[in-house]
């Protein structure tokens, strides 16, 4: 007798797989004719089948009911997606792009990001009642980086090919790729200051603002940013040399060759 | 493992990985990467739709909904636009004000915002006082939850819908796209090209011009020796003039005729001095001359002309 095995795993496979399949049938229509981004459509699907409506997808169940575990799952999921997307963004850019276009990028990433950060924080500070500016800075820093994934949907497709010149497509990709990682200094400047000076001195960690700034320069800039740049550059270079070496000797098959950048991204984004 | 910024490391690694352009060109036409890209995007945004804390927007201790909505609108409009408008003259990729508007408006907030949101919540959980999470940290944590999630939703909906709404005829993106086509229009008028094509055409035209220049000697080599009678009428224009003609490949109007006959009369005397094959000539003018003078080769040459014009269409279509 046929029975339905209603396990979460099966439900997720059925709904998500079914959605992607069905959406695939009309994807060209939606994306290239109606110019609707797949992000919007998938989010609507997530809402409809999520716990707020149909309750087919129950994220909290997968985290065994723990909110914190759910947050961690989301954090690692976004980290994986960002990692893969950013490696692909880096791969898409032409040779030596970062060095060639450093002038434009420096403006967008230096003063540009600072202004975006401050403006966003000011709006938040003005509209959220009773909140210190430092808190607004912390929230603002989260939304300062432009998103490579949503940018991609703007930069790709028929609309972009018609209306955005290739040089501008490339600068959008480069900017959204680079500023994602550079959100760290903004965020941690605010977070360290809150940790070491906030709460009217009650329960504040030892050290005050001096310690906060020390941590910010040492940890965030010295450790996180500079080390990541070096680490990324070294790994990227070694991967390139290895792939060249193997390709020259014809050790690589086509499938592995194509997937190389993606697996590189997965391996980079996990252990760190 | 070493607690560094993997997101930045990934971007740098991808960039360095294809520093010599080798991998990029090898995989450019392959659809594996876009496919995985699409699957991950659909997956992550589906997850967002499911985990988004909808109930928080209505009831929270931070901000009422009637302030949250203006907050979202203001952030979308002011976060990036003024900055780009100020700086766009320093960014040479942004050629004019309209493109600056586009670049300024489309600065989406998305996966990275959620990433930073949970990084900070993780950090704030460790800010403790008397055994529990410090009160202000807990407050900030809730505020971030509400505001960041709301801004992400605003961006998904706002940026996701502006292009379709604009296509429906609402005003903002239409101004962008007409703006983008305005300089194209003036260019197209001068060249009598199809105005529905993109303004990338300017670049294309330059490419076509160079292709044309390369192709020229062979063509004139084909065409001219068979039609000796046409030579006296065929314009042997100076190279600079030809280059200008080549930039406007579809020009078949009377202006060209006038110019070519003028050039023909000009070049009557030096056509003898100048070796014909090396002299760059306008193919259409040659075709016309053939049509007038040498009817015997007409069919063959008009076929060649047809072939050539098809090639133009393809070149435009491929690059656009």
Is A111 inside a domain boundary?
Answer: yes
The H or E element spanning position A196 is helix A183-197
Most confident among A115-124, A182-191, B12-21, B286-295 (mean pLDDT):
A115-124
Whole-number pLDDT of residue A55: 84
Inter-chain CB proximity A194 and B163 less than 8 Å: no
Average pLDDT over residues B13-28: 87
Most confident among A4-18, B220-234, B256-270 (mean pLDDT):
A4-18
> B85-116, pLDDT tens digit by residue?
888 888 888 878 888 888 888 889 989 999 99
Tell me the two tokens of residue A26. 């009309």
What count of CB pairs under 8 Å joins A to B?
460
- Pick the residue with more confidence: B256 or B84? B84
Is A15 inside a domain boundary?
Answer: no
Inter-chain CB proximity B144 and A93 less than 8 Å: no
Rounded distance between C-alpha atoms, residue A261 and residue B24, angstroms: 10
Rounded distance between C-alpha atoms, residue A5 and residue A19, angstroms: 20
Is B145 inside a domain boundary?
Answer: yes
Domain of residue B262 covers: 201-319
Q: How far is CA A7 from CA A46, A51, A265, B48, in A?
A: 18, 16, 31, 21
Among B20, B108, B200, select the one facing A95 at the smallest CB separation: B20
Whole-number pLDDT of residue A202: 63
- Is the domain of B160 the same as that of B132? yes
Is B133 inside a domain boundary?
Answer: yes
Per cent of chain B over pLDDT 70 is: 51
Give the number of domains in chain B.
2
- Residues from chain A contacting residue B37 (CB–CB below 8 Å): 84-85, 88, 152
Q: Show which of B188, B217, B252 is a domain's final residue.
A: B188
Query: Whose structure tokens read 């239409």?
Result: B174
Whole-number pLDDT of residue A54: 85
- Is the domain of B291 the same as that of B315? yes
Residuewise pLDDT in 10s, chain A (272 residues): 566 667 788 888 888 899 999 988 988 888 888 888 888 999 999 999 988 888 888 888 888 888 899 999 999 999 999 999 888 888 888 888 888 888 888 988 989 999 999 999 999 999 998 889 999 999 999 999 998 888 877 788 777 888 888 888 888 889 888 888 888 899 999 998 888 886 665 666 666 788 888 888 888 888 888 888 898 899 999 999 999 999 999 999 988 888 888 888 888 875 44
Is A125 inside a domain boundary?
Answer: yes
Instruction: Looking at the complex, report in whole angstroms how far the Cα of residue B63 sits from the nearest Cα belonging to chain A.
Output: 6
Most confident among A42-51, A96-105, B178-187, B303-312 (mean pLDDT):
A42-51
- A226, B4 Cβ separation under 8 angstroms: no
Query: Whose structure tokens read 């992000």?
Result: A39
- Is the domain of B88 the same as that of B112? yes
pTM of the model: 0.72
**Nearest 5 degrees, angle CA A50-CA A53-CA A56?**
45
Whole-number pLDDT of residue A3: 66
Whole-number pLDDT of residue A240: 92
Is A207 inside a domain boundary?
Answer: yes
Give the number of domains in chain A.
1
- Is the domain of B163 the same as that of B205? no
Is A96 inside a domain boundary?
Answer: yes
- Is the domain of B150 the same as that of B251? no
Q: Is A216 in CB contact (< 8 Å) with chain B?
A: no
Instruction: Looking at the complex, report in whole angstroms how far the Cα of residue A10 sits from the nearest Cα belonging to chain B.
Output: 16
- B44, A39 Cβ separation under 8 angstroms: no
- B91, A174 Cβ separation under 8 angstroms: no
Tell me the two tokens of residue A117. 């950060």
The answer to ipTM > 0.95 is: no
Is B34 inside a domain boundary?
Answer: no
Is A38 inside a domain boundary?
Answer: no
- Is the domain of B169 the same as that of B242? no
Is B13 inside a domain boundary?
Answer: no
Domain of residue A201 covers: 63-269
First vs last Cα of chain B: how many Å apart?
A: 46
Average pLDDT over residues B282-303: 44
Window from A15-29, A99-113, B36-50, B124-138 with minimum mean pLDDT: B124-138
- Is the domain of B120 the same as that of B174? yes
Whole-number pLDDT of residue B254: 42
Is B5 inside a domain boundary?
Answer: no
What SS3 state is found at A166? helix
- Is the domain of B180 the same as that of B206? no
- Residues from chain A contacting residue B68 (CB–CB below 8 Å): 127
Is B85 inside a domain boundary?
Answer: yes
- Is the domain of B122 the same as that of B153? yes
């Amino acid at each position: 007798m046929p029975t339905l095995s209603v396990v979460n795993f099966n439900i997720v496979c059925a709904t998500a797989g079914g959605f992607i399949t069905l959406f695939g049938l009309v994807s060209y229509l939606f994306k290239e004719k109606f110019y609707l981004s797949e992000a919007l459509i998938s989010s609507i699907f997530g809402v409809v089948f999520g716990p707020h409506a149909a309750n087919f997808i129950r994220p909290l169940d997968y985290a065994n009911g723990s909110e914190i575990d759910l947050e961690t799952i989301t954090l690692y999921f976004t980290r994986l997606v960002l990692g893969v997307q950013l490696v692909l963004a880096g791969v898409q850019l032409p040779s030596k792009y970062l060095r060639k276009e450093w002038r434009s990028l420096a403006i967008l990433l230096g003063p540009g990001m600072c202004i975006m950060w401050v403006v966003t924080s000011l709006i938040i500070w003005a509209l959220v009642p009773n909140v210190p500016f430092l808190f607004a800075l912390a929230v603002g820093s989260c939304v300062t980086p432009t998103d490579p994934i949503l940018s991609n949907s703007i930069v790709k497709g028929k609309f972009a090919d018609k209306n955005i010149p290739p040089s501008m497509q490339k600068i959008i990709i480069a900017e959204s790729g680079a500023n994602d990682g550079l959100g760290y200094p903004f965020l941690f400047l605010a977070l360290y200051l809150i940790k070491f000076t906030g709460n009217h001195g009650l329960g504040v960690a030892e050290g005050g603002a001096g310690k906060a700034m020390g941590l910010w320069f040492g940890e965030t800039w010295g450790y996180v940013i500079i080390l990541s740049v070096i680490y990324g550059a070294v790994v990227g270079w070694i991967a390139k040399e290895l792939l060249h070496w193997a390709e020259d000797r014809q050790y690589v098959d086509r499938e592995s060759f194509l997937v190389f950048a993606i697996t590189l991204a997965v391996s980079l984004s996990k252990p760190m | 493992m070493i607690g560094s910024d993997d997101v930045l490391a990934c971007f740098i690694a991808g960039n360095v990985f294809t520093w010599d352009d080798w991998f990029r060109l090898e995989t450019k036409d392959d659809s594996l990467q876009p496919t995985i890209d699409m699957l991950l995007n659909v997956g992550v945004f589906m997850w967002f739709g499911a985990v988004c804390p909808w109930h928080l927007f209505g009831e929270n201790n931070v901000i009422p909904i009637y302030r949250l909505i203006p907050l979202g609108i203001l952030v979308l409009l002011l976060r990036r636009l003024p900055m780009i408008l100020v700086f766009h003259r320093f960014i040479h990729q942004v050629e004019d004000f309209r493109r600056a508007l586009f670049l300024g408006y489309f600065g989406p907030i998305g996966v990275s915002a959620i990433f930073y949101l949970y990084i900070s919540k993780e950090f704030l959980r460790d800010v403790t006082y008397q055994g529990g999470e410090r009160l202000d940290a807990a407050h900030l944590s809730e505020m971030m939850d509400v505001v960041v999630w709301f801004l992400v939703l605003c961006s998904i909906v706002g940026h996701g819908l502006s292009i379709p709404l604009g296509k429906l005829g609402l005003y903002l993106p239409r101004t962008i796209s007409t703006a983008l086509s305005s300089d194209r229009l003036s260019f197209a008028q001068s060249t009598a090209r199809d105005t529905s094509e993109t303004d990338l055409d300017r670049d294309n035209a330059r490419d076509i011009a160079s292709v044309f220049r390369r192709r020229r000697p062979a063509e004139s080599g084909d065409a001219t020796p068979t039609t000796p009678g046409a030579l006296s009428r065929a314009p042997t224009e100076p190279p600079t003039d030809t280059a200008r003609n080549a930039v406007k490949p579809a020009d078949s109007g009377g202006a060209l005729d006038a110019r070519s006959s003028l050039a023909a009369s000009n070049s009557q005397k030096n056509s003898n001095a100048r070796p014909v094959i090396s002299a760059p000539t306008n193919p259409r003018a040659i075709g016309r001359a053939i049509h007038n003078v040498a009817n015997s080769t007409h069919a063959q040459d008009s076929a060649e002309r047809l072939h050539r014009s098809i090639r133009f269409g393809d070149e435009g279509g491929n690059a656009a």
